């Protein structure tokens, strides 16, 4: 299916005969493929969210999670079946958070394995987390430089679509590095659908990023730890009652993290101060 979307413009005209033999149309085939892609993408999103919720609420039932998340294109029974397929039933014991189930979808090699970073703009990493405000789940996407730990781009969104999460966050990151982005920067993430969406891949290709994906959460450790740092050390201490307040507080947290927060791995300098020291040297 992914191959079809990538090569559909170059397929021979004889496909029209194929459509006719099936008593269908090209439009119907495209509509069917679009529905399949949306369903698979949503399953990947939900897998990620369910795993994060279970970290905070280890015994929360699948049905309760359904009513908290209220996915737009999935009913209660289908949601519970998804939980069962992913192993999230509460009668099973888990030893840690599960990562996105991306079997059957695009998966890139993990390019960070055995890679030693020596400067900024060699590898960026991204992840999506959730934050609950007055019973509603909102989503926060981060893009950081793996060497300096600087948050280059972030986005707060009401929904988990690529257009509202990874794409605007990456565009902000590119804007942050307006001075120039070298070719072949590794862009590392989990296997979530937002990171293999066709529009997202078109954007990364335009800047010659090398897409990289992890199989397990610990293989995206810097981004995973950043999620916890922002939520546990900043957002949980703020008064946040609305989506707008969440946007404002995330902006504040990112500024404080980048400019003021000492980082042990950076000789107790903030990410921006550390980057400036590299430029000076």
Q: Are residues 153 and 267 in the same domain?
A: yes
Residue 170, helix vs strand vs coil:
helix
Cβ proximity of 188 and 170 under 8 Å: no
Q: Are residues 179 and 227 in the same domain?
A: yes
Q: In the numeric block, which tokens belong to residue 1? A: 């299916």
Give the gyration radius of the chain's Cα atoms: 20
Q: Are residues 186 and 275 in the same domain?
A: yes
Given this model, what pLDDT does residue 221 score?
A: 87
**Residues 198-256: tens digit of each pLDDT:** 999 999 999 999 999 988 777 888 998 999 999 999 999 999 999 999 999 999 999 99
Higher pLDDT, 216 or 93: 216
Q: Are residues 239 and 152 in the same domain?
A: yes
Q: Are residues 167 and 256 in the same domain?
A: yes
- Which residues are registered as beta bridge partners of 75? none
Q: Are residues 177 and 274 in the same domain?
A: yes
What are the CB-based long-range contacts (under 8 Å, 24+) for 250-255?
250/140, 250/154, 250/156, 254/151, 254/154, 254/230
- How does the average pLDDT of the chain come out, rounded? 83
Given this model, what pLDDT does residue 18 score?
A: 59
Given this model, what pLDDT does residue 61 score?
A: 83
Given this model, what pLDDT does residue 278 score?
A: 85
pTM value?
Answer: 0.69
Banded model confidence at residue 125, pLDDT cuts 50, 70, 90: very high
Residue in the structure block whose two tokens are 């504040």: 252
Q: Which of 21, 29, 24, 28 is nearest to 1 (CA)?
A: 29
Is residue 91 a part of any domain in this protein?
Answer: no
**Residue 29 pLDDT greater than 70, yes or no:** no
Is residue 150 a part of any domain in this protein?
Answer: yes
Please say which residue of 57, 86, 115 terminates a domain.
86
**Residues 130-185: tens digit of each pLDDT:** 999 998 899 999 999 999 999 999 999 999 899 999 999 999 999 999 888 999 99
Range of the domain at 24: 2-86
Cα–Cα distance, 25 to 147 (Å, whole number): 50
Given this model, what pLDDT does residue 97 score?
A: 32
**Residue 190 pLDDT greater than 70, yes or no:** yes
Given this model, what pLDDT does residue 143 score?
A: 98
Q: Are residues 37 and 166 in the same domain?
A: no
Q: In the numeric block, which tokens belong to residue 262? A: 């000492």
Q: Are residues 264 and 159 in the same domain?
A: yes
- Of the ranges 10-24, 37-51, 241-255, which is most confident? 241-255
Residue in the structure block whose two tokens are 């590095």: 177
Cα–Cα distance, 139 to 143 (Å, whole number): 14
Cα–Cα distance, 267 to 116 (Å, whole number): 18
């Amino acid at each position: 299916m992914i191959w079809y979307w990538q090569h559909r413009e170059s397929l021979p005209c004889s496909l029209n005969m194929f459509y006719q033999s099936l008593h269908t149309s090209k439009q119907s085939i495209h509509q069917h493929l679009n529905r399949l892609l949306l369903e698979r993408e949503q399953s990947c999103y939900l897998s990620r969210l369910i795993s994060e919720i279970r970290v905070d609420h280890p015994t929360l039932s699948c049905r309760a999670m359904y009513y908290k998340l209220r996915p737009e294109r999935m009913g209660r029974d289908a949601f519970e079946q998804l939980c069962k397929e992913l192993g999230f039933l509460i009668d099973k014991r888990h030893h840690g958070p599960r990562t996105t189930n991306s079997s059957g979808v695009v998966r890139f090699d993990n390019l960070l394995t055995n890679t030693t970073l020596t400067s900024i703009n060699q590898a960026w990493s991204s992840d999506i987390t959730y934050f609950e405000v007055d019973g509603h789940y909102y989503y926060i996407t981060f893009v950081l430089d793996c060497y300096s730990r600087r948050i280059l781009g972030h986005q707060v969104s009401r929904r988990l679509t690529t257009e509202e999460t990874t794409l605007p966050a990456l565009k902000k990151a590119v804007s942050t590095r307006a001075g120039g982005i070298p070719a072949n920067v590794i862009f590392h993430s989990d296997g979530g659908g937002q990171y293999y969406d066709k529009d997202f891949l078109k954007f990364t290709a335009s800047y010659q990023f090398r897409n990289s994906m992890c199989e397990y959460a610990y293989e995206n450790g810097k981004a995973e730890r950043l999620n916890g740092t922002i939520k546990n050390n900043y957002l949980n201490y703020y008064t946040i009652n609305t989506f707008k307040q969440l946007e404002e507080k995330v902006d504040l947290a990112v500024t404080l993290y980048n400019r003021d927060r000492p980082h042990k791995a950076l000789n107790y300098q903030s990410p921006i101060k550390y980057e400036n020291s590299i430029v000076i040297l």
